[in-house]
Structure 1
Amino acid sequence: MENEQKAPKNKLLTIMVVLMAVILLAGAVAVVIILKSAGGEAADKEPSIDEVIESSVDIPEMTTNLASDDFIRISFKIQTDSPEAMDEMTKRDFQAKDMIIQKLSEMTADDLKGEAGKQKLTETLKTDLNSIMQDGKVEAVYITSYIIQ
């Protein structure tokens, strides 16, 4: 009779131990997930303005003809993802200028009007410049001066 009563107690104790282990495991997994997501947010934060300047290249003002027989005077700042990429872009500035001139020579003054036109130009230049980069990538292209005549 004593053995029959011990068996249910042992079974109940086993179930309780298993449930506690499952709860602890779930808690540990939750803590790991929370810590990893908090660490990921820190890694994804925007760079400071000093870091942006440290990894950016200025393309000085240049003048070229547009397809509409107007001409444009424009300059850019190209933000890269690292100082190494900035060094590469500095060395490739002649290629960047060539790409800019080619893109602008295909555009008309109307193509560049408004925010949408300028946004399209900077996105196109970003994509084209990334195609020649080997040691990093272009994060953004900013127009720093702009005159159409």
Structure 2
Amino acid sequence: MMKNKVLTIMLIMMVAITLVGVIAVVVVTKVGEPTSAESEPSIDEIVKASVEIPEITTNLAGNDFIKISFTIQTDSKKAKEELEKRNFQVQNIIITELSETKAEQLTGKKGKEALQTKIKEEVNKVMQEGQVVKVYITSSILQ
């Protein structure tokens, strides 16, 4: 009778140790592989989640004006669909930002990157179904 109890306890402990080992292997395997959110999207995925903003001509803070167009990359198809519906809001954000910007602020890489970052931040404030990942300037003529 005592032998059976010891054998049962040993068997339960072996099963428990094996179960803990299997769980540990699964956790290590899942943590080790990159998820799709961490990996860089392919160019096809970027294009499918991007919205083109047609050329906008507007005055800058001085006497200058700019013709500029953008492509905005979102994080999902749902976000792209929402952004397409919010096109008028995006254009408003762009025109408003540009109206506060002087021509000197848009010359050079740093100025354009600052504009892209500002537009991304402002558009993300109105987004509900996802977010803007990156804003690309696709054409720009400053006069």
Structure 1 and Structure 2 fold alike (TM over 0.5): yes
Alignment RMSD (CA, Å): 2.1
User: Which letter maps to 1:42?
Assistant: T
Once residues 110 and 34 of structure 1 are traced to their aligned partners in structure 2, the CA distance between those partners, rounded to angstroms, is: 52
Once residues 108 and 62 of structure 1 are traced to their aligned partners in structure 2, the CA distance between those partners, rounded to angstroms, is: 16
Counterpart of 2:77 in structure 1 is 83
Counterpart of 2:7 in structure 1 is none
Runs of 4+ in 1 over 4 A off after TM superposition: 24-28
Counterpart of 1:7 in structure 2 is none
2:46 is the alignment partner of 1:34: no
Once residues 30 and 73 of structure 2 are traced to their aligned partners in structure 1, the CA distance between those partners, rounded to angstroms, is: 28
User: Matched residues, percent identical?
Assistant: 48
User: Which letter maps to 2:30?
Assistant: K
Indicate the SS of the match to 1:107: coil
Give, in angstroms, the shift of residue 62 of structure 1.
0.9
Gaps in structure 2 of 5+ consecutive residues? 1-12
Indicate the SS of the match to 1:111: helix
Counterpart of 1:130 in structure 2 is 124
Give, in angstroms, the shift of residue 25 of structure 1.
5.8
Gaps in structure 1 of 5+ consecutive residues? 1-16
Give, in angstroms, the shift of residue 49 of structure 1.
0.8
User: Which letter maps to 2:139?
Assistant: S
Counterpart of 1:97 in structure 2 is 91
Indicate the SS of the match to 2:115: helix
Q: Deviations over 1:73-116 (max 9, x none)?
A: 10000111111111110010000000000000000011111111
Give, in angstroms, the shift of residue 27 of structure 1.
9.1
Once residues 38 and 72 of structure 1 are traced to their aligned partners in structure 2, the CA distance between those partners, rounded to angstroms, is: 48
Counterpart of 1:66 in structure 2 is 60
Residue-pair matches, total: 129
Structure 1 or 2, whichever has the larger Rg, is: 1
| TM-score normalised by the chain length of structure 2 | 0.81
Once residues 122 and 59 of structure 1 are traced to their aligned partners in structure 2, the CA distance between those partners, rounded to angstroms, is: 13
Give, in angstroms, the shift of residue 69 of structure 1.
1.1
2:101 is the alignment partner of 1:115: no
Once residues 120 and 60 of structure 1 are traced to their aligned partners in structure 2, the CA distance between those partners, rounded to angstroms, is: 20
Once residues 37 and 104 of structure 1 are traced to their aligned partners in structure 2, the CA distance between those partners, rounded to angstroms, is: 44
| TM-score normalised by the chain length of structure 1 | 0.78
